[in-house]
Amino acid sequence: MLKEQDMQWVNETADKIIQKMDWVSDKSKHKIPYTTVDGVHDDRSDQSWDIRHDDGIAWWTNGFWGGIMWQLYHETGNQKYADIARHSEELLDTCFEQFYGLHHDLGFMWLPTAVADYRETGSADGRRRGLHAANLLAGRFNPVGRFIRAWNEHDNEDTTGWAIIDCMMNLNLLYWASEETKDPRFRQIAMMHADTAMASFIRPDGSTNHIVEFDPETGEKVCTYGGQGYENGSSWTRGQAWALYGFVLSYIHTGKQEYLDTAKRVAHYFLANIPDSGLIPVDFRQPAEPYWEDSTAAAIASCGLIEIAGCCKEYEKGLYQNAALKMLKALEQERSLWGTECDCIIQNCTAAYHDRHHEFNIIYGDYFFIEAVFKLKGSGLFLW
């Protein structure tokens, strides 16, 4: 149970989310936003897809706007949110038709949209789309290496044997498909990938690699890459968040104790490195200058910590729940805009340490912040 003052903060923050999203949803109802330009949502719903510029309809974050809408529909019962969510769901059908833009992030795209629609309303179209996406994701499985391939070939770089920690979150699409169809193949693929991630991504201290390359013919581990973090061997915080949230979700779906133990190990590393401010850097091992933040890592990790707390004995819950509250309160008080000057709520998000741009709005920062607050309120929609 949350303390009375914490529950008051949760309820007040939930009310602010509802008030802001009421007008933002009307303003952006025909869009699928990723970021903002001068405070206004951009739009990634362009139905074209160019292998050189994969930021149109196949962009990997295009499920999070629909996810926000389903969270708001679940919270308020207002039909407009379901209508807006279904609009983005229909736009995403183009991805199935074009095919080439799809990779391991099918879970991020169709769990918060089509599967959420099915879970919330029983939509037959949502079920069909979700199962279609799950079959495409299962088709990326390498049975020798026991991993799901990450990206497609890009800029003439051979990524056939690459797997990434982010995929722990996409496994939930396979768990859902297995539960829905009673076909164990989906669950088996997801668990084999999770087992590989435990062995090859998670370091002894609880930090995690971002990218691991395997020999796709033999399954042998070849090397690791720094990916979106500071460097190889560093600790990209969003990767830490994907790991701790992803492994506890694998535990929830399978009951395999090793997944919960792994989620806790990663969580303890994360907790040990949270700054006093509660604001999270892009990489826990980045240099002092330049110092870049990634608010998305804080929001994602908070969701995972709340789920870990829910899997623990009573005497353990506070450790994880209080850490989540610390980060969420820091985001709400220091990195949120509640007025009309910006369509997004959460500020200071960063996609990758070595990108040209840092500390801007990213739609999944808003999504996971909203999910975490509604989780604490006890009213959130479980999308994973």
> Active-site residue numbers?
105, 166
CA dihedral 32, 34, 35, 37 (to 10 degrees): -50
Which amino acid, one-letter code, is at 145?
A: G
**Number of helices followed by number of strands (H, E) in the chain:** 14, 7
Integer-rounded Cα Rg, in Å, for the chain is: 19
Comparing CA positions, the residue from 364, 320, 325 lying closest to residue 345 is 364
In this structure, are residues 247 and 263 in contact, taking their beta carbons and an 8 Å threshold? yes
Q: Which residue has the tokens 């701790």?
A: 244
Comparing CA positions, the residue from 260, 370, 360, 267 lying closest to residue 319 is 267
User: Residue 210, Cα to own-chain centre: how many angstroms?
Assistant: 14
Encoded tokens for 29: 């109802």
Encoded tokens for 15: 């009310």
Q: Concatenated DSSP letters for 55-123?
A: -STT-TTTTHHHHHHHHHHHHH--HHHHHHHHHHHHHTHHHHHH-TT--TTHHHHHIIIIIHHHHHH--
